[in-house]
Amino acid sequence: MIRVEQLSKTYGDVRAVREVSFAVERGELFGLIGPDGAGKTSLIRILTTLLRADSGTATVGGYDVVTDYRAIRNTVGYMPGRFSLYQDLSIEENLHFFATLFGTTVRENYAVIRPIYEQIEPFKKRRAGQLSGGMKQKLALCCALVHQPTVLFLDEPTTGVDVVSRKEFWDMLGLLKSQGMTILVSTPYMDEASLCDRIALIQEGKILSVDTPAAIPGQYRGILLAVRADEIYALLKDLRALPWLKSCYAFGESIHCTVGQPADAARLREALTGHSNLEVKEIPASIEDCFIQLMNP
């Protein structure tokens, strides 16, 4: 459904997108995972025909993003990262307005937006500017869906939204996916990665890895150990002093270390005998661990 080949975009000295290639299949929920400034927004803007790439090609639904941009604008839905609906128009007015721009009506496509729209319908006379963050986001999603797009682009839809709304939002994406919609979503949150069918880890404009969320931890090189003790700071200092550790970083309440072979766990325990309540445990790598490893090869 989406095919990206060798796409590059440069702003002055900044190489926002560097020779990116990937493909998204029909009906897939595809996640672009990466920190702020990784090039996610630029990539999505190129695919939604808002930005022209310097080199490379991309097609969405079989249409080229440069030559068939008009066809793409008819068939894709786009929800920008920043809330960009009319704050001085009501929920209803915004929805009708965007339906009209796509040459359709809300009634015609009510089935598509119904599950989401029902949640905000009681407030339909309220101006968009007076809605809560979660409701704004639902409205934006409705507006992006009002013309029954075949591909939906969501740029960091859950940034700045509370945990409950985030969960609800991902439930809605799951629902849309079950209806056969192709969805490309970008997010800086690693925990959301597992909710996608496949993810691309992106950093400094480059794609580090593309795989299913389940397979990505399998790509982890070495053995991951979670180390805990009473004095975390002293522990981190001691760990950093060990030259044979491949990596070592604080991760939540414990410290994650990478070592080369299983025997190194015992060696580590020996080196840290001075710490009280020391705990060294081999754990499976999470997507975030993989990401950190890919970022610092």
Partner 1 sequence: MRTLRFLLQKEFRQIFRDRSILPMIFLMPTIQLLILPQAADFDVRSITLAVVDQDHSTYSRQLVSKVLATGYFHLTGMETSYQAALRYVEQDRADLILQIPAGFERKLVRENAQSLFVAIDAINGSKASIGGSYLTSIIGDFNNQIRFKWTGQMPSLLDIVYSHWYNPTKNYKNYMVPGILVLLLTLVGGFLSALNIVREKEIGTIEQINVTPIRKWEFILGKLIPFWVLGLVVFTLGLTIARFVYGIIPLGSIPLLYLFAGVYLIAILGFGLLISTYSQTQLQAMFVAFFFIMIFTLMSGLFTSTDSMPFWARVLSFLTPVTHFIEVVRMIVLKGSTFAEVRNQFGYLVLFAVFLNGWAILNYRKTS
Among 85, 161, 207, 287, binds partner 1 (CB under 8 A): 85
Among 5, 54, 88, 108, binds partner 1 (CB under 8 A): 88
Strand-pairing partners, residue 255, are 227, 250
Binding mask 207-246 vs partner 1 (x if CB under 8 A, - otherwise)? ----------------------------------------
Binding of residue 83 to partner 1 (CB under 8 A): yes
Among 24, 60, 141, 143, binds partner 1 (CB under 8 A): 143
Query: CA 247 to CA 289: how far, in whole Å?
Result: 11
Looking at the Cβ atoms of 84 and 212, the one nearer to partner 1 is 84
Among 76, 145, 255, 259, binds partner 1 (CB under 8 A): 76
Of the ranges 50-58, 175-183, 188-196, 256-264, which one interacts with partner 1 (CB under 8 A)? Answer: 50-58
Query: CA 126 to CA 122: how far, in whole Å?
Result: 9
Query: CA 227 to CA 138: how far, in whole Å?
Result: 41
Binding of residue 64 to partner 1 (CB under 8 A): no
Tokens representing 136 are 């704004």
HSE of 193 in the Cβ direction (CA atoms, 13 Å)? 27
Looking at the Cβ atoms of 55 and 178, the one nearer to partner 1 is 55
Binding mask 91-110 vs partner 1 (x if CB under 8 A, - otherwise)? --x--xxx-xxxx-------
Looking at the Cβ atoms of 74 and 247, the one nearer to partner 1 is 74
Contacts from 211-220 at CB under 8 Å and sequence distance 24+? 213/31, 213/287, 216/287, 216/290, 217/284, 217/285, 217/286, 217/287, 217/289, 217/290, 219/290, 220/285, 220/289, 220/290, 220/293
Looking at the Cβ atoms of 97 and 220, the one nearer to partner 1 is 97
Nearest to 77 by CA among 60, 59, 64, 54: 60
Binding of residue 176 to partner 1 (CB under 8 A): no
Cβ neighbors of 250 (< 8 A, separation 6 or more) are 232, 236, 256
Binding residues for partner 1 (CB under 8 A): 48-52, 69-70, 73-74, 76, 78, 80, 82-89, 93, 96-98, 100-103, 143
